[in-house]
């Protein structure tokens, strides 16, 4: 089976989703998607759509997300596609 090579945009989207998934779940900072969407001042439907299409997150939404979840410098570099 051939190896799948992700493009730059797909790599950034995967990094953002990984960051969100690391903060949502039992025993984590936000137990449910609804609590994170409430903290980001988004409706649960909008947040669900944004998770399916991470490139649709707006600047203000990303700022609120990063203020709430406090990503490391390494995570931010991966999310924005910056080589360390």
5 — pLDDT class (breaks 50, 70, 90): confident
For residue 46, tell me if it sits in a domain: yes
DSSP 25: S
Number of structural domains found in the chain: 1
Instruction: Confirm if 50 and 44 have CB atoms less than 8 A apart.
Output: no
For residue 50, tell me if it sits in a domain: yes
Residues 58, 51: Cα–Cα separation, whole Å: 12
What lies within 8 Å, CB to CB, of 1 at 6+ separation is: none
Residues 23, 33: Cα–Cα separation, whole Å: 10
For residue 53, tell me if it sits in a domain: yes
For residue 39, tell me if it sits in a domain: yes
- What pLDDT digit, counting tens, does each position of 27-77 carry? 888 989 999 999 999 999 999 999 999 999 999 999 999 999 999 999 999
The parent domain of residue 46 ranges over: 29-79
Q: Is the pTM of this model over 0.75?
A: yes
For residue 5, tell me if it sits in a domain: no
For residue 33, tell me if it sits in a domain: yes
- What pLDDT digit, counting tens, does each position of 9-19 carry? 999 999 999 99
């Amino acid at each position: 089976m051939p190896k799948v090579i992700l493009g730059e945009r797909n790599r950034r989207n995967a990094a953002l989703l990984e960051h969100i998934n690391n903060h949502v779940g039992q025993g984590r900072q936000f137990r449910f998607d609804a609590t994170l969407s409430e903290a980001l001042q988004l409706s649960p439907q909008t947040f669900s759509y944004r998770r399916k299409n991470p490139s649709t997150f707006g600047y203000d939404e990303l700022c609120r997300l990063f203020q709430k979840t406090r990503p490391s410098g390494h995570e931010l570099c991966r999310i924005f596609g910056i080589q360390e």
